[in-house]
Amino acid sequence: MNRLPTVQEIKNFRKVLNRWVNKNKRDYPWRKTDDPFKVLIAEMMLQRTKADQVQPVYLKFFSNFKTPAKVARANIRRLNHILYPLGLRWRIKRFKEVSQVIVKKYGGKVPESRDEISKLPGVGDYIAGIVLLIAFNKKEWIVDSNVVRVFKRYFGISTSKEGRRDKHVIDIARTYADCKYPRKASLALLDFAALICTPRRPEHERCPLAKSCHYFIYDIKKGE
């Protein structure tokens, strides 16, 4: 494993992304709410699905179902009709199941514990973290394949095949989220991964971090 970044290097990385996102952030309705249930449902919809595809389904879903109780009581055929455009039909029943648990076990409110949220049906550690970040503005870390890709490229770290489970990757994410505005910083990281540090053709010419990026300096330029 290569040298891990220092706290100051992670802070500098975050500072650049926070400036970049001021003019480049993506605008989605689930980012404009502090309702944890709406954020939770949005993130469940976003699993393996592009955000632009999710947006109209999200809006239609909440125009029909205002509360967890209404989703819990919903007819599965009606849910299927609304959620069908997202594909992955196997997950449709999860929306009803997670709502039922929230109603029965938590009185209709999404819990504020990472451990409790991550144990909800169809929900894992990443979704738990993003719900706590967006809805509660807590200093919670998030790691998915996109975050791993950015960290791996920029800091030049090595990762396992399941990089999102690597302790050193999670440690970097924890330090990154340990700031005054964790919600803004984390969304900046996700937007950067989606718009600039893309899987196949990263936008080096538009990247505000290229001059200090390990991947660009040592891997790309070395091959020129």
Which one of 43, 125, 140, 166 is the catalytic residue? 43
Whether 43 is catalytic is yes
Which one of 58, 126, 176, 215 is the catalytic residue? 126
CA gap 36, 26 in Å, rounded = 19
Which one of 144, 166, 176, 215 is the catalytic residue? 144
CA gap 53, 58 in Å, rounded = 9
In 137-223, alpha helices (H): 145-155, 167-177, 182-195, 214
Whether 144 is catalytic is yes
CA gap 150, 154 in Å, rounded = 6
Asked if residues 129 and 114 have their Cβ atoms less than 8 Å apart, the reply is: yes
Three-state SS for 100-135 is: HHHHHHHCCCCCCCHHHHHCCCCCCHHHHHHHHHHH
Q: For the chain, first and last CA: distance in Å?
A: 25
As annotated, the active-site residues are: 43, 126, 144
